[in-house]
Amino acid sequence: MATSEQVLDLTGYEVGGVSPFGSTTALPALVDESFQRFEEIWLAGGTATVIFPLALDVALKLTGGEFAAVAT
């Protein structure tokens, strides 16, 4: 698990607001496999108080995201 400082350094965003777009480092986008049950998901928009909805298939296409067993 990354520290808050590592998250900020790698993404340019603070924990709680990490957007899947525009990070300062190219990172893989992992989407928990349980999200497959949703047609629409909510993504962080760069701060902890900004979120936006996006169709799951569009989010995967735009981020290059892949499903993975993330949550335990």
Question: How many other CB atoms sit within 10 Å of the CB of residue 48?
Answer: 13
**pTM of the model as a whole:** 0.81
Q: Domain coordinates of the chain in residue numbers?
A: 4-68
How far apart, in whole angstroms, are the C-alpha atoms of residue 26 and residue 40?
Answer: 24
Structure tokens at 46: 């760069």
How far apart, in whole angstroms, are the C-alpha atoms of residue 67 and residue 69?
Answer: 7
At 71 the pLDDT is 86
How far apart, in whole angstroms, are the C-alpha atoms of residue 7 and residue 15?
Answer: 7
How far apart, in whole angstroms, are the C-alpha atoms of residue 14 and residue 25?
Answer: 14
Q: For 8-53, what is each residue's pLDDT tens digit?
A: 999 999 999 999 988 889 889 999 999 999 999 999 999 989 999 9
Residue 56 has pLDDT above 90, yes or no: yes
CATH of the structural domain 4-68, one choice from 3.40.50.300, 3.40.50.720, 3.90.960.10, 3.30.565.10: 3.90.960.10
At 36 the pLDDT is 97
